[in-house]
Structures are given as structure tokens and as C-alpha cells.
């Protein structure tokens, strides 16, 4: 469905996307993971055929977006990072107007809108002006809008950023249903849990480059250990104590507020630390996540910047 090689976008001297290669197959849920400013949104806009690339090859649905922009966009659904529904129109009108932009006839749009209102759980809000909707509802409306043309690829840029946990879970549930229906999804996120929930396969981007690629599980296997012990000795002591316990795990990361010890057996490692006479203020044993993969690959946490 999508094929990129050497894809590059430069703004003057600044290289936002620096020669990346990837492929997305039909029915796949593909994630682009990275911190703010990694080039995720720029990549998404190039795939969405709304931003021209500087160099490299890009094929979407078998066409070149530099030449066939409108024909490609006709078959994409785009959910931008920032909701941009029309505040003056109602929920239903927003869907209708957007469908018209695709040249879709009334006879198609009427039943389609009913379907999408049900999908987005917005049936009660159909005649409500959108400025009174909650953040989660607006987001679901934007996703419903992105589906109005029955797209072959649905692109979601940071779909749940800024939502409260409950709203996020409702949204994930909706997106998961799309996935089960066989939709091709392209998702950018800087939330690890989101990538783990939604993506079959993902690339990790940092500073415009792809630094790793794989399934969430394979990335964790490759770049992190099975478990992680997080210990805190207070910000003044972490750096001091870290070298003294470094040999307990396979690898240690010292962050300003905590020490991470990568190990196969978390509980045993924690006991070993305590046995050496160190008593952490707090401690936590957990399974490794994509967050750890990212830390390993870039030396930074995702929430940094």
C-alpha cells in the first residue's frame, strides 16, 4: 500500500525527515514511534499527499503523490494531530460536508453517516454543535470523519494525545475494531502503550531517521531484557549508587530521578540490591516496554524534549 525509500524532507538547512525506508502492506497496522520533533508528522503529511517530498521515492496505493495527489487523497482517511472540525456546524453536518469534498453523493452519505455516528458513539450528539463536545468526542468525530470515504488507508497522527485515560481506552477500543475489520492503519504516537495496543509492526524514529523496526515484541526482545527493576534513591544519590549495583543486571540506565536495571529476573535482582545493603526509597519490578527500547536506542526518554 505504501512504499518509501530514501524519503527525505528538508526545510532550508533543517532536515526533518532524513532518508527513511519502509513498506506498509494491506491490512497492516503500522506505527511510527518517536518523540516530538522526530519527523513523524512530516512523514505522515508526505504519505497523506499534502506535503511534497524533497527527494527519495514514495509510492502510495501504486501512485506517486507528487503527480497524483488528488487521486491518492480520494482513498485516504486522515486524522490530524489537532482536531480541525468546523465549530459552526453540527456533528452530522461536519461529516456530511466532509463527505461532499470527496464528491460522494447524498444517497451514499446519509446511511454512511448513520453508520459512523454509531461507530463513534455519537448518535445522541448528531445535532449538537461541536464546540460543546468533550475532547474525546471531538476526537472520535475526527476519526469518523476520516472514515467517511471508506478509505483504503486510515492515517492517525497522535490519536489519543491529550485525552484522559478513559477517553483513550474508548478510542483504542474503536480503533481496535477497525483493525479487526481489516483496515490498514498508519499511526504515529509518542505513547508506548498506544503503540503496543494498536500496532502490528512499527518503526522508531529519532531526529528524522528510522533507528529500529519490528513488531513491538521483537523490538523489546532485541533492545531490552525481559524485566526491568526501577529503583530510586533520591536524586542526589542515584548517580553515586548506580556503579555499585551495575553488575547485578545486564545493563543499567541512570535517569535523573531513578535507576533502571535490565534483567531477566526482576525480583531476584531487586533482592540482590537489597542484600548489598542498599535500601531504595521506592522500587518497582515490571516487564520491559517500548519505552525501554526507545531509551536504549536514543539515550533519551520519549517524554523528553
Partner 1 sequence: MSLVTRAPAHSPEVDRRAARRGALYVAEYRLRSMWKWRRSIITDGLGNPILYLTSIGLGVGSLVNANLGPTGIDGVPYLVFLAPALITAAAMQGVMNEIMFPTLAGFLWDKGFFAMRATPISGGQIADGLLLAASARIVFTTIVYWLVLLAFGAVGWSSALTLIPVAILAGLSWGAAMLAATANVKDDSGFISLAMRIVIMPMFLFSGTFYPLSSLPLAVQWIGWISPLWHATELGRWLSYGMAMPPWQVAVSLAYLLGLGALGLIIARRRFERRLTS
Stretches 13-21, 83-91, 195-203, 239-247: which one binds partner 1 (CB under 8 A)? 83-91
Which residues from 167-186 bind partner 1, rule CB under 8 A?
Answer: 177-178, 181-183
Cell of 29: 497496522
Nearer to partner 1, 177 or 276 (CB): 177
Nearer to partner 1, 80 or 214 (CB): 80
Regarding 62 and contact with partner 1 (CB under 8 A), the answer is no
What's the min distance (Å) between Cβ of 268 and partner 1?
A: 47
Among 15, 18, 54, 104, binds partner 1 (CB under 8 A): 104
Cell of 126: 448528531
- Count of other CB atoms within 10 angstroms of residue 123: 11
Cell of 235: 536524586
Whether 235 and 66 have beta carbons less than 8 Å apart is answered as no
Which residues from 107-126 bind partner 1, rule CB under 8 A?
Answer: 108, 112, 115-116, 118-119
Whether 160 and 185 have beta carbons less than 8 Å apart is answered as no
Whether 119 and 137 have beta carbons less than 8 Å apart is answered as no
**First and final C-alpha spacing in the chain:** 33
Q: Residues 22-61 vs partner 1: string with x where CB under 8 A?
A: --------------------------x-xxx---------
Regarding 78 and contact with partner 1 (CB under 8 A), the answer is yes
What's the min distance (Å) between Cβ of 51 and partner 1?
A: 6
- Count of other CB atoms within 10 angstroms of residue 279: 9
Nearer to partner 1, 20 or 46 (CB): 46
Cell of 203: 518503526
Q: Give the β-pairing of 201-206 and 29-33.
A: parallel
For Cα atoms 119, 121, 126, give the angle at the middle one, nearest 5 degrees: 105
- Site residues (vs partner 1, CB under 8 A): 48, 50-52, 69-71, 73-76, 78, 80, 82, 84-89, 93, 97-98, 100-105, 108, 112, 115-116, 118-119, 145, 147, 149-151, 177-178, 181-183
Amino acid at each position: 500500500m505504501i512504499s518509501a525509500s530514501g524519503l527525505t524532507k528538508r526545510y532550508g538547512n533543517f532536515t526533518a525527515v532524513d532518508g527513511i525506508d519502509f513498506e506498509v502492506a494491506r491490512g497492516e497496522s503500522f506505527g511510527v514511534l518517536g518523540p516530538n520533533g522526530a519527523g513523524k508528522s512530516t512523514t505522515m503529511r508526505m504519505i497523506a499527499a499534502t506535503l511534497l517530498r524533497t527527494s527519495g521515492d514514495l509510492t502510495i496505493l501504486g501512485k506517486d503523490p507528487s503527480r497524483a495527489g488528488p487521486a491518492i487523497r480520494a482513498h485516504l482517511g486522515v486524522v490530524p494531530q489537532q482536531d480541525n472540525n468546523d465549530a459552526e456546524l453540527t456533528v452530522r453536518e461536519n461529516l456530511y460536508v466532509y463527505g461532499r469534498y470527496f464528491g460522494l453523493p447524498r444517497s451514499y452519505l446519509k446511511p454512511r453517516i448513520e453508520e459512523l455516528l454509531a461507530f463513534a458513539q455519537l448518535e445522541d450528539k448528531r445535532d449538537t454543535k461541536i464546540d460543546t463536545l468533550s475532547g474525546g468526542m471531538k476526537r472520535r468525530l475526527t476519526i469518523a470523519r476520516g472514515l467517511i470515504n471508506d478509505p483504503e488507508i486510515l492515517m492517525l497522527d497522535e490519536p489519543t494525545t491529550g485525552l484522559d485515560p478513559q477517553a483513550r481506552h474508548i478510542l483504542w477500543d474503536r480503533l481496535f475494531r477497525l483493525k479487526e475489520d481489516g483496515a490498514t492503519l498508519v499511526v504515529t504516537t509518542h505513547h508506548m502503550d498506544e503503540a503496543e495496543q494498536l500496532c502490528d509492526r512499527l518503526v522508531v524514529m529519532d531526529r528524522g531517521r528510522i533507528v529500529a523496526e519490528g513488531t513491538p515484541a521483537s523490538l523489546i526482545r532485541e533492545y531490552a531484557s525481559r524485566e526491568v527493576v526501577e529503583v530510586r534513591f533520591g536524586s542526589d544519590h542515584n548517580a553515586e549508587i548506580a556503579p555499585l549495583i551495575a553488575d547485578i543486571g545486564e545493563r543499567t540506565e541512570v535517569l535523573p530521578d531513578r535507576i533502571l536495571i535490565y534483567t531477566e529476573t526482576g525480583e531476584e535482582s531487586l533482592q540482590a540490591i537489597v542484600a548489598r545493603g542498599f535500601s531504595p526509597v521506592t522500587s518497582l519490578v515490571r516487564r520491559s516496554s517500548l519505552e525501554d527500547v526507545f531509551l536504549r536506542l536514543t539515550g533519551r526518554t520519549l517524554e523528553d524534549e
